[in-house]
Amino acid sequence: WTRPGKISNITVLGASGSGKTSLLCGIGHHCISNGLSVRYYKAGALLKDLLSDSIYKVRSLKSIIRHCQVLIIDDVGMNKASEEASNVFYDLLDERVDEMPVIIGSQVNEEGLKACFTGKAQADGILRRLFQKSINIILKGDPEDAEANNHGLTSALEVRHE
């Protein structure tokens, strides 16, 4: 899923405590151990930094993102994105489409994600870039069981490749 011509995004969806972040980090560590450069960000912090007033900070962050081979963005859809944030997120995904994979984690399903982004065209474009040619993982299970085991990976997996 990371090879040229076979690029796929990965979406990991599941309730709070279902093990999404643990799975994202595990995938990231696997990529690093196979020689790929990886960047992990929480969606809110990433968008805040990309919308910063500091031109230097924004350029530097965009350069880092542009050059990493695997981009992981966790907690996508936790808050309603402004129009400007939706545009920035769309542009970020558009630059990577079919070139370098994006892995996202979210507590909300596709419809919930769509509602998080301002503007129908932007929301549709973001979802197309995330879910087309993607491996979709839905973690199912009781978050309380995950917390009791301190692993977060006690959930059942449902994997779809589209």
Does the pLDDT of residue 10 top 70, yes or no? yes
Report the mean per-residue pLDDT for the chain: 86
Higher per-residue pLDDT: 12 or 160: 12
Which of 90, 20, 23 is CA-nearest to residue 50? 90
Residue 140: what pLDDT? 85
pLDDT in tens, 115-141: 999 888 989 999 999 888 889 999 986
Angle subtended at Cα 47 by Cα 44 and Cα 48, rounded to the nearest 5 degrees: 80
Residue 118's SS3 state is coil
3-class SS at 16? coil
Whether 111 shows a pLDDT value over 70: the answer reads yes
Q: Are strands 70-74 and 156-161 parallel, antiparallel or unpaired?
A: unpaired
Region of 157 (left: φ > 0; alpha: ψ -120 to 50; beta: rest) is: beta
Q: Mean pLDDT throughout 133-160?
A: 64
Identify any residues that bridge with 105 across adjacent strands, giving them in sequence order.
Answer: 12
Predicted model pTM: 0.84
